[in-house]
Structure 1
Amino acid sequence: MYIDGMQGRSPDVVADLLAVRQVNHSTIAIQELMHTVGVLDPRHPGTKAAVGQIKETIAAMPEHRTFTPDADILGRGAMLSGILCRVQGYHQDARLRALHDCVLFLQAQKLGLTVLTANSSDFDYLLQLMPGSRVLLYRTAA
């Protein structure tokens, strides 16, 4: 959701929703954003601006609205991501993303929060495995 917003791919309704709702964050999202910083080519002309945007996004996350998953969530998230990788046929590149998605999913469930994502393929499977969870899906703008 963060990257979609930065790249202008999230629909206006997502920005409208975020403007009127309490927004919580996960340290998992911070990991994903910082991973992006690490993989960006420092020689690419757009990297400096992208890193600046990511830095601003993380700095804007209020500490009292940023949550860290506990050991139970991390352990169950690893098992759930293994299932997701097996069912989806994921290999090396997608496994870390699946792990992060599963931890976010379980963390939101434990805290009674709703995950906002455009990742319908993975989160549909997760909702089938744990239908009592809350996920709000959106389609990215083309």
Structure 2
Amino acid sequence: MAFDRKASLRRIRPQRLAAKLTRRAEEELPLSHKAAAVGRELLLDTCVYIDVLQGKTPLEADRLLENRIVNHSCVALAEMTHLMGALDPADKRTASVLKTLGRTIDDIPEHRLTAPSPRVFGEAGMLAGMVTRLTGQPHSIALLNDAILFLQAASTGCDLLTGNRRNFDFMDQLMPGTGLILY
């Protein structure tokens, strides 16, 4: 599958805005307590796995995870396996963290794990670039990964569940209605 740059430029229109983006008020965000327990399938941001393992997800997010079909992205898989190489083996906590992380990764059903398309990758670069330019944030791989997850969820008809309000609020402002649930 080839990447159609011209079609993606028409879809994303990265040069259409020049005004700075600012965070929306809390009541304007698509928060988990506003989401129906039953609805579209979910795609999980990497922070969801970590928050679940640490017991930091709010009750509303847990309810969504229990009641909706959950899908997983190769982007989140890569971010989790990155920790396997990044954690310090000399730290006495590393072995336990790696064991828990390994079980979490092993529990991902193969038929629920998908990779983003070339179109998603190409358009995510544009979207992350817009967020960088319009917010003054530095360029980062984390922001690019967030944009990939955001557009992968949209392209598959899933709601993206995340606790990362900052980056995803900006993306949702640039591309509203793509299916975002924040906690």
TM-score, with normalisation over the residues of structure 2? 0.70
Aligned to 2:59: 12
Aligned to 2:166: 121
Where do 1:67-106 residues align within 5 Å? Answer: 67-91=114-138, 95-106=140-151
Task: Please tell me whether Structure 1 or Structure 2 has the larger radius of gyration of its CA atoms.
Answer: 2
SS in 2 for 1:24: strand
Compared CA separation, residues 69 and 119, structure 1 to 2 (3 A): same
Aligned to 2:89: 42
Greater helix fraction, Structure 1 or Structure 2: 1
- 2:92 & 2:60 partners in 1: Cα distance? 31
Alignment deviations for residues 22-48 of structure 1 (CA, whole Å, 9 cap, x no partner): 100000000111112222111111111
Code of the aligned partner of 1:53: T
- 2:91 & 2:135 partners in 1: Cα distance? 33
In the TM superposition, residue 12 of structure 1 has moved relative to its aligned partner by 3.0
Percent of matched pairs sharing the same residue: 40
The equivalent position to 2:181 in structure 1, one of 120, 136, 139, is: 136
In the TM superposition, residue 91 of structure 1 has moved relative to its aligned partner by 2.6
Aligned to 1:108: 153
In the TM superposition, residue 83 of structure 1 has moved relative to its aligned partner by 1.4
User: What are structure 1's unaligned runs of at least 5 residues?
Assistant: none
In the TM superposition, residue 11 of structure 1 has moved relative to its aligned partner by 1.7
Is 2:75 the counterpart of 1:28?
A: yes
In the TM superposition, residue 130 of structure 1 has moved relative to its aligned partner by 0.6
Q: CA RMSD in A?
A: 1.3
Of structures 1 and 2, the one with the larger relative CO (CA 8 A, separation 6+) is 2
Alignment deviations for residues 81-120 of structure 1 (CA, whole Å, 9 cap, x no partner): 111222332335xx11101100000000000000000111
- Number of paired residues? 136
TM-score, with normalisation over the residues of structure 1? 0.89
- 1:63 & 1:88 partners in 2: Cα distance? 37
